[in-house]
Structure 1
Amino acid sequence: MNKKVYFASDAHLGSKMHADSVETERKLCRWLDFARQDAQTIYLLGDIFDFWFEYKTVVPRGFTRLLGKLSEITDSGVKVHFFIGNHDIWLTDYLQNECGLIIHREPFVTEISGKKFFIAHGDGLADKSISFRLLRRVFHSKFLRFLLAGVHPRWTVALAHAWSNKSRENGGVQDFLGEDKEYLIQFAKQEIARTPDIDYFVFGHRHILLDFPLNGKSRVINIGDWIQYFSYGVFD
C-alpha cells in the first residue's frame, strides 16, 4: 500500500468558537484514526490548541483524548510533526517527550516522494500588520514567558481565552483577500524567487481553503480549519 502524508491545522481546541470543543476533539481523534491507516507522516500545522502553556511540572487541563491518540499513533511508528502556531506558542518539551511529536518552531522544508514542500503555520511570514508583528515579538519573548510562569494558571488561562475570543469578535479571521492582499501568497512569491524548486507551500493560520497556482510548477495550499470546514490536506 502506498503511504500518504496528511495535513491538518487550526482546531483551536478549548475555544468558545466551538459549540462543543470536546466533540470537536473527538472528531479530530476519529480523523487521526482514519489517517493512521495509510499515513507515512501526519503534519499538524499549528493552533491545534486555542491556548497552551507549559509550566515546568504542569500542563493545561483537558485534551486528554487528543494527547492519548497522538501518543498511540507515534507509538505505532507513524511520525507526527507539530508546528507551533500563534495560539500554542508556549510549549517546551512535553508534547515531544510524552507524546512523541516532532516539534517545529520555524518553517520546515522537506522532500516528499520527489516533491519539495515548504511547510509552516503561516503567522509572521510577510505579514505587514504592525500590531500583529509587535504582538508576535511580545509573545515570543522568553522574558515574558518567565514572568507568565510565575502567575497562577487561573489568571493566565482565563486571560488568554478572553484575548483570543476578543480577537475573533473583532474580525480576526477574514475570507480570501485576493492574490495581491494575501500575505502568504506574497511570501511564497518572494521565496520562489530565492528557491525556485519548491513545489508546494502548505500553510494553516488563515482558516481558508486555498489551492493557488503560482506558476507552472508551484502551488500555495491553505488547508482550512477544524472550526468551520473540518478540512485536511493529503498528499498521495
Structure 2
Amino acid sequence: MRNKYYFLSDAHLGSKMHADTRDTERKLCRWLDIARQDAKAIYILGDLFDYWYEYKYVVPKGFTRILGKLADVTDSGVEVHFFTGNHDMWLTDYLSEECGMKLHFEPFVTDLYGKTFFMAHGDGLGDTSGSFGFLQRVFHSKFLRVLFSAVHPRWTIPLAHAWSNHSRENGGMIDFLGEEKEYLIQFARQQLQKTPDVDFFVFGHRHLMLDYPLPPHARIILLGDWIRFFSYAVFDGNSMQLLTFR
C-alpha cells in the first residue's frame, strides 16, 4: 500500500567527500527500491549531485545508476519531486523529460494528510550575509549562464568541482549553531508569522539531522545528508520520523 511520503537531501553524488561515490550511488538506489514499495511520493530536496549543469545537448558524465533508477521509480507510478539546490540549480528539462521527475525551482507548500508542509532546499532562506547574496545573484544570472554555456564542458566541469571541493574544505560541514544562529530556524519562525498554518518546514542544505519544535505546533526538519548520515525522513500521516539508512 502506497501511503507514505519520503524526504531526502544532499547526496552530493560525484563529490570527493565520499570515500566511494559509486558505492553511495548504489546505496541510494537500494533506498529508492525500498521506499518505492510504500511511497505515495518521494521529495528530493536538492544537491542530489555535487555538480549538475545542462547544456542544450550535453549533461554531465556519470550517474547512470541513479538516473535509471529514478526513471524506473517514476515509470512505476511513484511521484518524485526534485528541488534545485545550490549545487544543482542549473536545470532545464532533462530530469523531467528523461527521468519523469517534477521540478521545483522555488519553495513549495503542499498539504499531505491534512498537514501543511513548507519545503525547499534551504539555501538563501534567512541567510542575509553579503557574500552569499552576491553568489546567489551570480549563479542565478541568465546572462552569466549563457556565457558559461559557451565554454566547453571540459573546462567548466573540472572548474565547478574544484570550486565545490575548495569551498567545502574551507567551510566544512558545521554542526548545530544554536537556535538563534541557525538561519533556517529563524526563517521558519518569521514565515510562521505570515503563514501560521504550516505544520512542517522541511529543508536540506545544512547537512544536519535536526527535528526541532517551533511553538505552538510546527516543527522544522533538517534532513542531514548522504555523506555523514545517510539520512531521510518519512511521513505516514500520523508521525514524521527522521531516520538513517543501513
Question: TM-score normalised to the size of structure 1?
Answer: 0.99
Please give the residue correspondences for 1:89-128 in structure 2 after superposition, counting only pairs within 5 Å: 89-128=89-128
Deviations 1:46-70 (A, max 9, x none): 0000000101011100001000000
Paired amino acid for 1:107: P
Q: Does residue 62 of structure 2 align to residue 84 of structure 1?
A: no
Question: Percent identity at matched positions?
Answer: 70
- Alpha-carbon shift at residue 216 of structure 1 (Å): 2.8
* Corresponding letter in the other structure for 1:176: F
Offset, 1:157: 0.5
Alignment partner, residue 211 of structure 1: 211
SS in 1 for 2:43: strand
Q: Give the drift of 1:2.
A: 5.6
The whole-number CA distance in structure 2 between the counterparts of 1:152 and 1:11 is 26
Shift of 1:133: 1.4
| 1:54-69 equivalent positions in 2, closer than 5 A | 54-69=54-69
| Segments of 4+ moved more than 4 angstroms | none
2:75 match? 75
Q: Is the 8 A contact 2:2 2:37 kept in 1?
A: no
**CA–CA distance in structure 1, aligned partners of residues 144 and 19 of structure 2:** 32
> How far apart, in 2, do the equivalents of 1:32 and 1:141 lie?
34
Map Cα deviations across residues 39-93 of structure 1 (whole Å, 9 max, x no partner): 0000000000000010101110000100000000000110000000000011100
SS at match of 2:155: helix
SS at match of 2:176: coil
Residue 91 of structure 2 aligns to which amino acid in structure 1? L
Gaps of 5+ in 2: 237-246
SS in 1 for 2:116: strand
Distance 1:10 1:137 in 2: 22
Q: When the two structures are superposed, what TM-score results if normalisation uses the length of structure 2?
A: 0.95
State yes or no: 1:42 paired with 2:42.
Answer: yes
Q: Aligned with 1:125: secondary structure? A: coil
1:173 positional shift: 2.3
Name the Cα RMSD after superposition: 0.8
SS of the aligned residue for 2:88 comes to: coil
